[in-house]
Structure 1
Amino acid sequence: MPLPFKEHPLRHAVTTELHARTFEPIKAPARVSHLAFICGERGSGRNTGHLIKLLEFFGAPVPESVGQYHVADLGGIRLHWERHTEFVTYTFTEPGPYTHPFDNPVIERLPPQWLAASPGELVSAVSVALESKDMPERSPAELSELFGHNIIIGSEVVGGLGRAWSDLRIHTDGYARILLRNEGLTDAQAGRMVKRVLELNAYRSMTLLALPVARKVSRTLDMADRRLAELAAVMTEQPSQTPGQPVESRLLAELTGLAAEIESAAAQTTFRFEASKAYYRVVKQRLEQLRQRRIVGLQTFTEFLDARLAPAVATCESVGSRQRDLAERAARLTALLRARVEVSLQAQNRNLLESMDRRAKLQLRLQETVEGLSVIAIGYYGVGLVGYLLKGLESQGLPVNATLGMGIAMPIVVLSAWFFLKRVKKRLMQGHGE
């Protein structure tokens, strides 16, 4: 019956999300094979298709759509499939007694061609054996033999209701090994314990994926740091000229290229480093949920993983911080160099303007000189014309003294020429808005 209310479109989605990381009750004894594949954030289609092929092989019901998780019965084997942000996990559980905890694992009951076609890259493969409290306890020598005589890590879990042992190494069959013992857990508690141990192993692997990246990038950052120091030292010197190119232009080109390298390295590692920190928080959460107690003579899982994961995560954080610091330093040096170039350009512009001002003044003086010569020339020719006129009148017998007339006309002609040129110059200046 539909509700008489208007529902939020995400109401069912957020409720379903609470059950996206479910666990399966497990009755001891049982064995589990767990696989985790990195597939990236865009690998949903390939992984769901691969899951459907497995369901079809065993004749299990195929869902219309696959969400974040799927549970299926494969004929005596229980499958639990989960889709995480950048990896998927397959958990195969087979209840029932067994002779050896890690011989003939559950994974061998799956079709080899399906396993070989698994999309993505394997990041975690674990064989888990869950013993019941009715089974005889193993001596330290027997435990050591199960784990190839490696150093064993172990602790009581769930407040002493269970025990867990592992060496957290990859054995000759390609799988890590974890041995669990149920000392009084319910089937639901046992299922939660197995899930937390498996998640602990998957997330600690995902956490450590960032460490090789950090080590590789660290070498690049060392070179970038030295180059930044060298460029800063060159910037403190007096600007000089190289053949055909200013020092500032060369420095700016090198700084821009170096800043691009640093940003490129940051772009390639930022997600990995942030993901590593997130996975590390999940690891610590799972360790707390196990509620461990010490088994005399053994390191607990918390002690072992803290001693190795904490420095790795700190290294990644340090490299990430160093990347940000170098990027900021490169930006500051670039800004300083640009300011220096701008000051240099301003000085050049000022010198150019001063030179142009001097040239303008010189041109003005030359122009004034030319104007004076023009007045003299015009006056000379003007007086000459007046002289021709007066001499012509004198030759006709008129009472005209040509020489005296030219002398009187000379200042009048020169002043008239001067006033005429001034007027023309004024009109030209007004026409140019000056």
Structure 2
Amino acid sequence: MNAGFPLPGIALHPLRELLNDEFHARPPVPLRSPTLVSHLVFTHDASTQQEELANLQNLGEVATGELLDRSEAHLVFAAQAFLLRWERHSEFSSYTVFRELTAGEGRNPAASALQVVPAGWLSAIPGQLIAATHVELQASREVSPESVTAGLTPTGRQVVAAQVADQAAWVFTDFMFDSGFSRFLILDVALTQRQAGRTVQRLLEIETYRLLALLALPVAKEIGSWLKAAETQLADMVDQIGQARSPADERQVLAALTGLAAEVEHSLARTAFRFGAARAYHDLVMQRIDELRELRVTGCPTFREMMQRRLLPAMQTCIAMAKRQDDLSDRLARSSELLRTRVDVELERQNQEQLAQMNQRARLQLRLQETVEGLSVVAITYYASQLVHYLAKGFKALLPALSPEIAAAVSIPLVAAFSILGIRRMRRRLRQEAGGDH
């Protein structure tokens, strides 16, 4: 229950407040010209989480300031000379430093916001650096757009330029590393402080997500050669399926198919996240470019054109590799199913042959049983008639007229008839019992 909720007795969802806070999380920092911004992005894993939190805790010890906002994945620290914003994402953490300059201070290419942050604290940040960016926000009255465009040369670096935020600012960059940092220059024509903060945040996200999206390209190149070999191997296995002439050949091909399928599934599991993340990062880059509402500057490509020319081919390569993996997995499944069908058909044929042989043996056993029953009747009749003969000999003293031979001869058909009736009755009872079991 939430004590501040005006309707008593209503059960609130436990994630309601958290979800609403997440919706409003990470608002842009309002900025005014002139300001320097430095942005560092480090990839991390679960092992560096506590180390990262400990280093953030040390910031208050090495720099005088106050904590303006803090959560499990977000922190804003205001020092005397800078403002630090830390954010943790799923696979990276970002550190953004804002340093406000004095009006009329002018441009200094060597200056950056990181100069006022303790160097020892920066070097203790855990993880691996993936993106490093300097942003310079200047008023257009101090640095005119014409002075920047006039310094561009056809033989120099290709500069991306655009008017953004409904022509309220100019943005220049070349996406190249200068002393390890990419650089953006924003000339403020008529930006509000919040517009300036949103523009800076979008540019930093474009640079961050651009590099994170490109993490999938080496993976795509790595599996490209392996996919070619695997596809060739699968084609050879399909030929072997058609050439298989014995169950042993089919089992051998099935074992090879199963092994290749395991390798493909391992590759899919290893690369699925990276390719999926690349698509998501690329979508974010293009979304942030749309939010800039850029207009072309004569003689310079726009941000969208640069991404379509340089980033989109890499993303298409990753998408193509991911699709080839999926197609290879599907083809392996179809080939394995085809081979299993052949094996099942062969097993069914063998089972039918075995059933036919069993039926033939059952008929033979039935005939043998009937023969044995006939011999049993003869044997029973013979031994019974002998018993009658011996009994008649024993009673001859009492009945002199009784001939043992005649008595034995008369008993033969009677004993045979009773034997046949007894065997048939026993067979009928066994059939009834067998029918009752089923």
Q: Give the shorter-chain TM-score range.
A: 0.7 to 0.9
C-alpha distance 394-27 of structure 1, shift in aligned 2 (>3 A): closer
Question: 2:174 touches 2:183 (CA, 8 Å); kept in 1?
Answer: yes
Secondary structure, counterpart of 1:89 in structure 2: strand
Once residues 74 and 153 of structure 2 are traced to their aligned partners in structure 1, the CA distance between those partners, rounded to angstroms, is 36
Q: Cα–Cα, structure 1 residues 379 and 295, in superposed 2: closer, same or farther, change >3 Å?
A: same
Given the alignment, which residue of 252, 273, 297 partners 1:271?
Answer: 273
Of 17, 21, 25, the match for 1:20:
25
CA contact (8 A) 1:48 1:66 kept: no
Which letter maps to 1:96?
A: L
Structure 2 unaligned segments of length 5 or more: list them.
Answer: none
Q: Could you tell me how far 1:178 is from its partner in structure 2?
A: 1.9
Q: Is the 8 A contact 2:159 2:173 kept in 1?
A: yes
Matches within 5 A, 1:241-256: 241=247, 246-256=248-258
Q: 2:81–2:116: 8 Å Cα contact kept in structure 1?
A: no
1:230 to 228, 236, 243: 236
Q: Assess if the C-alpha contact under 8 Å between 2:82 and 2:117 holds in 1.
A: no
1:153 is aligned to 160
Aligned residues of 2:42 and 2:127 also touching (Cα < 8 A): yes
Task: Choose the corresponding residue for 1:183, options 163, 179, 189.
Answer: 189
> Aligned residue pairs: how many?
427
Counterparts in 2 of 1:382 and 1:3: CA distance versus 1, 3 Å: closer
1:66 to 51, 71, 75: 71
1:132 lines up with 2:139 in the alignment = yes
Secondary structure, aligned partner of 1:160: coil
Q: Distance in 1 between matches of 2:379 and 2:72?
A: 103
Matched residue of 1:122: which SS?
strand
CA contact (8 A) 1:41 1:86 kept: no
Task: After TM superposition, give the deviation of residue 89 of structure 1 in Å.
Answer: 1.3
Residue number in structure 1 paired with 2:125: 118
Number of the residue aligned with 2:88: 83
Q: What is aligned with 2:410?
A: 408
Provide the rounded CA distance (Å) in 2 between the counterparts of 1:3 and 1:426: 86
Taking the aligned partners of 1:419 and 1:3, their CA distance within structure 2 comes to: 96
Query: Aligned residue for 2:305?
Result: 303
Aligned residue number for residue 328 of structure 1: 330
8 Å contact kept, 1:157–1:292: yes
Judge conservation of contact 1:252–1:334 (CA < 8 Å) in 2.
yes
Question: Following TM superposition, by how much is the alpha carbon of 1:201 offset from its aligned partner in structure 2, in angstroms?
Answer: 0.6
Query: Corresponding residue for 1:215?
Result: 221
Unpaired runs of at least 5, structure 1: none
* AA at the equivalent of 2:353: N
Aligned partners of 1:375 and 1:417 also within 8 Å: yes
Deviations 1:95-146 (A, max 9, x none): 225676431433233233322221222110012222322335545685569x
- Name the amino acid aligned to 2:124: A
Corresponding residue number in structure 2 for 1:103: 110
* Aligned counterpart in structure 1 of residue 389 of structure 2, from 380, 387, 408: 387
In the alignment, is the contact (CA less than 8 A) between 1:211 and 1:315 conserved in 2?
yes
Post-superposition offset of 1:159:
3.2
**Whole-angstrom CA distance in 1 between matches of 2:366 and 2:285:** 84
Distance 1:64 1:127 in 2: 24
- Measure the CA separation in 2 of the matches of 1:402 and 1:17: 116
Q: For the residues of structure 1 that align with 2:418 and 2:131, how far apart are their CA atoms?
A: 107
| 2:194 equivalent to 1:192 | no
Report % sequence identity: 37
Distance 1:24 1:402, change over 3 A: closer
Does the 8 Å contact 1:207/1:277 carry over to 2? yes
Offset of residue 362 of structure 1: 0.8
Identify if the C-alpha distance between structure 1 residues 68 and 395 changes in structure 2 by more than 3 Å, giving closer, same or farther.
Answer: closer
Aligned counterpart for 1:51 among listed residues 50, 56, 61: 56
Once residues 239 and 404 of structure 1 are traced to their aligned partners in structure 2, the CA distance between those partners, rounded to angstroms, is 73
Question: Do the aligned partners of residues 71 and 428 (structure 1) sit closer, same or farther apart at CA in structure 2, a change above 3 Å counting?
Answer: closer
* Structure 1 match to 2:210: 204
Give SS of 1:169's match: coil
CA distance in 2, matches of 1:112, 1:141: 36
Match of 2:321 among 319, 322, 337: 319
TM value normalised by structure 2:
0.85
Residue matched to 1:355: 357
Task: Look up the equivalent residue of 1:162 and give its one-letter code.
Answer: A
Give the 3-state SS of the residue equivalent to 1:361 in structure 2. helix
TM-score (norm 1): 0.86
Q: Secondary structure of the residue that 1:297 maps to in structure 2?
A: coil
SS of the residue 2:140 aligns to? coil
| 2:37 alignment partner in structure 1 | 32
In the TM superposition, what is the alpha-carbon distance from 1:281 to its structure 2 partner? 1.8
Match of 1:93, SS? strand
Residues 213 and 279 in structure 2, CA contact (< 8 A), matched pair in contact too: yes
Aligned-partner Cα distance in 2 for 1:424–1:12: 84
Question: The residue matched to 2:166 in structure 1 has which SS?
Answer: helix
Q: 2:400 aligns with which of 375, 394, 398?
A: 398
Deviation, 1:308, is 1.7
CA contact (8 A) 1:69 1:80 kept: yes
For residue 76 of structure 1, what is the amino acid of its counterpart?
A
Q: 3-state SS of the aligned residue for 2:95?
A: strand
Q: Give 1:34 shift.
A: 0.8
Q: For the residues of structure 2 that align with 1:410 and 1:8, how far apart are their CA atoms?
A: 98
Report whether the alignment pairs 1:283 with 2:285.
yes
